[in-house]
Structure 1
Amino acid sequence: MLSFLKRFLSPSASADPATIPESHQVYAPRKTTLYAFGDIHGQIRQLQQAIDSIVKYAEDDRSAHYRSKVVFLGDYVDRGEDSRAVLDGLMRLPTIHPQIDWIFLAGNHEVVMQGFLTAPQDHLLWLEYGGCETLASYGVAPPASNAHRDLMVARDAFARALPPAHLAFLQSMPIRHLAGDYLFVHAGLRPGIPLDRQSQEDMQWIRGDFLEQPYWHGKCVVHGHTIEAQPTVLPWRIGLDTGAYSGSPLSGIRLRDNQREVLSFPCLRPF
């Protein structure tokens, strides 16, 4: 439990912000259109809208002799009711649409989901932060209590229900992706730390120290993790988590040359 809670606590950075370039100085790779999407959290219908849109965009990219690359920023599971369907859908994309490059980053929820499989007693908060919905999507009942025996019963049932291909997919996810002047991570970066020394924990968990002061990391950071009322598009960071699981749109962005276009896919379920 303590190891889980420590991820929410981190020392403040003291580095002075580096010079932040104007947005027109930030470019996608030459002849490549980049797409990125924030936290999906089990919202299969919004995900399908986004995929349908990207496939159409990719046709335009090809006609303009541009390569299409899509980066999902993590947190595919938990909170929403269709985590299993989301993972199924994402895994099939490279086969169904091989003309597009697909990148799937690991978010903190994927980390904690796997942690429950190995040490459920140390990952109780996963159940409170959407893990019960993920268990249900695999046909597994949540533990009857936090007692060790009940947790192990739920863990063992989940281990049996989770397809090996899903686990392999989760374990294969990278932590970050670099493309042109953009760096894609789930949560953010720690100011003042060189890119090659950023910790996995910060890239998947950081909030305030990253968000509270503008800092140019040498790349524009594209991230999710922290819910904002609308996509935040700044020269130094682009935040794309708009709380899709709570009835808000699933948000994304299209980056070509030095242009930025926000994408939005509304919730289709009744509230």
Structure 2
Amino acid sequence: MFFKKLQGALSGAASEAETAPLHLAHDFVVIGDLHGRADLLEGLLRQLETEAPGLPLVFVGDYIDRGPDSAAVLRLLQDLPGATCLMGNHERMCLSFLDQPNRNGARWLRYGGADTLASYGVAVQQDDRLRARDQLIDIMGEDSIHWMRALPLFARNGMLYVTHAGADPRQDIETQDESSLIWEHPEFVRQPRRDGAWLIHGHTIVTQPLVQQQRIAIDTGAYATGRLTAAVFAGDDLRFVQTP
């Protein structure tokens, strides 16, 4: 029963009494929001070679925007063998821009899309989004765009689900719509789940990893803080590995 050792393994994370044990099918690692920090991703992967060698990696989404090198992050992720990468709301905003740049461009650019374009060497003017979209498609390439479109909304390991944001606690995670899983359902933090499932997620920045009411939050604001967090589930232990 994983939960018996959970409270003693948090290494500084905030926690409170939980109601359901956490059963996993296998050891693995979950990595928080990257937001264009290829340097932190490379550093964390080196740390995990020592801290969690050979364990499968799951990334919670938001690989692009805000940080300086979204293009490099996407290249690194696509070259990682066996990694599972989930859809984040920033990937969805980017895809919406590619589909309808005039309609959806302003929102994406406001929330970090301009940084992603810059990482590909694309400049954008407010009245010339079609040109920027076409340049981005040419530079990213169809393979990368197809990879992004195919990102799943969740991953499951035993009774632990990985999503980008918080799900509706009243519904089965696997049947929920995309909006709840990548933007966070408004009821997520208002009531605990009653189905025995746990959820580990990013999206909402916390100063340190937070374990609370069968929720584990690991977005520590890497693009701004320099602190990228991985949750390592190994045996009956949970520990958090962070970039210095």
TM range (shorter): 0.7 to 0.9
Given the two structures, how large is their TM-score scaled by the length of structure 1?
0.78
Distance in 2 (CA, whole Å) between partners of 1:216 and 1:203 is 18
Partner of 1:265: 243
Q: Secondary structure at the match of 2:83?
A: strand
Residues in 2 aligned to 1:254 and 1:33: alpha-carbon distance in whole angstroms: 8
Q: How many residues align?
A: 227
The one-character-per-residue Cα deviations of 1:71-100 (angstroms, maximum 9, x if unpaired) are 100000000010000011111111xxxxxx
- Equivalent in the alignment of 1:8: none
Alignment check: 8 A CA contact 2:192 2:213 kept: no
CA contact (8 A) 1:216 1:236 kept: no
Question: In the alignment, does 2:91 pair up with 1:110?
Answer: yes
Gaps of 5+ in 2: 1-17
Cα distance between partner residues in 1 of 2:31 and 2:176: 22
1:17-55 Cα shifts (integer Å, max 9, x gaps): xxx535xx21321xx321001100000111011111222
Q: Structure 2 vs 1, CA of residues 190 and 208 (structure 1 numbering), >3 Å: closer, same or farther? A: same
How many Å apart are 1:201 and its aligned residue?
1.1
- CA–CA distance in 1 between the matches of 2:201 and 2:163? 5
Deviation of the 1:216 alpha carbon = 4.0
Q: Percent identity, aligned pairs only? A: 34
Q: Which amino acid aligns with 2:115?
A: E
Structure 2 match to 1:21: 19
Superimposed CA distance per residue, residues 122-159 of structure 1 (whole angstroms, 9 cap, x where no aligned partner)? 221100111000001111002x22x3xx1112112212
Q: Give the alignment of 1:1-271 within 5 angstroms.
A: 21-22=19-20, 25-29=21-25, 32-59=26-53, 68-94=55-81, 101-123=82-104, 124-142=106-124, 144-145=125-126, 147=127, 150-206=128-184, 208-234=186-212, 236-266=214-244
- Please report how far the alpha carbon of residue 207 of structure 1 lies from its aligned counterpart in structure 2 after TM superposition: 5.2
Deviation of 1:230 (Å) = 1.1
CA distance in 2, matches of 1:213, 1:21: 12
RMSD across aligned positions (CA): 1.8
Unaligned runs of 5+ in 1: 1-19, 62-67, 95-100, 267-271
SS of structure 1 residue aligned to 2:121: coil
Aligned to 2:6: none
1: CA distance between counterparts of 2:225 and 2:61?
Answer: 18
